[in-house]
Chains A and B, each alone.
Chain A
Amino acid sequence: MPLLHRITRADHPAISFTLDGVACEGRTGDTVLTAILTQAEHLRLSEFSASPRAGFCQMGACQDCWVVLESGERLRACSTALTAGMRILTRRARAA
């Protein structure tokens, strides 16, 4: 079940991206964190225990929300705006 529940922006233009290879849609104004967590239950797996994580502070301090793109690029989900065509991975236990 998704973690985040939209209250606003339901009618905003959609932005397409993929989450672990599956086509998804976010909304204009979404951070990567919001785009993922309105669809999914976690952002990444811990490098140490492989337990699921979904961010914590949402203000760029805790560094809990780093995700990996298929290109290998890493980004902090809470402080990165969603852009069309992002190919995001949440299943990799070990960061590239």
Chain B
Amino acid sequence: MSERPQPVIVGAGPAGIRAAEALVAAGLRPLVVDEAPSCGGQIYRQRLAPDERSTRDLYGSEAQKAEALHRDFAALDGKLDYWPQALLWNLRDGRADIMVAGTSRQVAYDGLLLATGATDRILPIPGWTLPGVFTLGGAQIALKSQGCAIGSRSVFLGSGPLLYLVAWQYMKAGAKVAAVLDTAPFAAKFNLLRGLPLFPGIVLRGMRMTAELKLAGVGLHYGVADPRIEGKNAVETIAWRQGGLEHRLACDGIGYGLALRSETQLADLAGCRFAFNQRDRAALPERDAAGRTSVPGVYLAGDGAGIAGADAAERAGERAALALLQDRSLSPDAARAAVLEAELARIGRFREVLEAAFPFPAHWAKDIADSTILCRCEEVTAGEVRAAIGQFGVHELNRLKAVSRIGMGRCQGRVCGSAAAELLAHETSRGIEAVGRLRSQAPIKPVPLTLALAAQQEAAE
């Protein structure tokens, strides 16, 4: 009998690392494919070169978790195959096309564990394509990984836990934070009290950060509506309405985001069945409590399958790996699996609290001006999308893509997809769950044409 191909794990963030660890512990040798040059994912991203900051400076209260993940993954060296700076760009017939070190390689896999993570969820606003506007995640990466501030007077805008975390990290690093503009009303924050019995440490830490920002003189504004970014060649001011009053503030850097959205392209290419998730307002690949999908041998873990955060990702990664082992009749530790599932359920309940504390700005689709760019890749405006919806009687997102080019640009809808779905739902007076989801296409990110052709040729031979 020929040896079975190795399992492939996509992503070396908290979920991918814990999955790899569990597979190695059971005697398997997985291949871990990750786009970054070193492990950690976005949340525990490492610097390209060491600098004068400590791990504590970089990761704050999460420093021990970051150190443990980096250390534990390093300890697996020699027991797995690890391809950093590699992009798994296509899946077909049990094979993965992977761009690595300037070439595309085809890898047969037996067991595929997707830990693909998330990016910021964005709803376009006037001026959001101006230089100096970054996502909250991008602003955090600039600081954490590159030791740079996105401006000399930065504003952080949007909602979600990351909003306050990034603002606080900038303040701690000595960067000037001009204001925090929360699109959610202050009253929504009282929901966090419901989270106290579940995770008191997290809630209190959030409160402390907010208090420290306030003490440092950072303006915290709630219920921010109609934000507009202005500037000629780069960000110069931000304007907004609050309680019926107009406000303006000079700034030269803006971090913007409204919680996170899952990276689901590979689950789609793997053939996983999707279902609409009301909490994330997105179609997500279905998974059971263990991380099994509708496709045998394909598993999901971490934020790539629904937003739950880094602590959940670690547990989901390990749990999905145990499922893979069980499906290979390698009898993993059933008690451990039960513990992980219980912890994940508890984090899931906390997610409900966070969602209530940082609610989605439901009025965005009604308010967005026709002149606002919706797709930054190809500069399709909201007005053009509205016109296309009306002219062609569009009800479904892929049809909208075909007639308006929304989601057809280089990012393949990663940035505008959520907004396009919200706008389509609003314009057709239907729920967001009724408009469908953008189908994923290979390559899931741009790859040089020469590489793709070489891979095709290899497949044909």
Contacts and interface: CB of A to CB of B under 8 A. Distances in A.
Contacts of A4: 142, 146, 148-150
Contact of A41 (B149, B174, B234, B409): B234
B173 interface: yes
Contacts of A93: none
Given A58-B135, A59-B137, A52 B234 contact: yes
Contact of A54 (B42, B132, B141, B174): B132
B379 interface: yes
B133 A8 contact: no
A5 B148 contact: yes
A21 to B, nearest CB: 20
Contacts of B49: 9, 12, 28-29
Contacts, number: 137
B129 A61 contact: no
A87 interface: no
B233 A34 contact: no
A34 B263 CA distance: 25
Contact of B131 (A6, A48, A52, A57): A52
B447 to A, nearest CB: 11
B137 A58 contact: yes
Q: How extensive is the interface on chain B, given as a class?
A: 35 or more
B152 interface: yes
A69 interface: no
A29 B175 CA distance: 20
A19 B376 CA distance: 24
A57 B137 contact: yes
Contact of B446 (A29, A30, A38, A63): A63
A41 B119 CA distance: 24
A7 B143 contact: yes
A5 B36 CA distance: 23
B411 A62 contact: yes
A46 B129 CA distance: 10
Interface in B25-71: 35-37, 42, 47-53
Contacts of B409: 63
A9 B129 CA distance: 28
A79 to B, nearest CB: 7
A55 B173 CA distance: 22
Contacts of A78: 138, 141
A57 B234 contact: no
A71 interface: no
B446 A54 contact: no
B414 interface: yes
Given A28-B49, A61-B263, A79 B234 contact: no
Interface string A67-95: 00000000010110100000000000000
Nearest to B51: A8
Given A7-B175, A41-B233, A12 B138 contact: no
A58 B148 contact: no
B377 interface: yes
Interface string A1-39: 101111111001000000000000000111100100110
A20 B129 CA distance: 22
Nearest to B147: A8
Interface in B281-295: none
Given A7-B173, A9-B147, A62 B376 contact: yes
B170 to A, nearest CB: 9
B414 A61 contact: yes
A1 B141 CA distance: 21
A64 B411 contact: yes
Contact of B151 (A3, A42, A52, A81): A3
B134 A38 contact: no
Q: Which of A4, A12, A30 has the most CB of B within 10 A?
A: A4
A62 to B, nearest CB: 5
Contacts of B396: none
A49 B379 contact: yes
Contacts of B233: 41-42, 52
B445 interface: yes
Given A1-B252, A56-B133, A61-B415, 19 more contacts: A1-B234, A3-B253, A4-B149, A5-B151, A8-B51, A8-B52, A31-B48, A34-B146, A51-B129, A54-B131, A56-B134, A57-B138, A58-B139, A61-B411, A62-B411, A64-B411, A66-B410, A79-B35, A81-B37
8 contacts: A5-B149, A7-B175, A29-B50, A52-B130, A58-B134, A58-B138, A61-B415, A66-B446
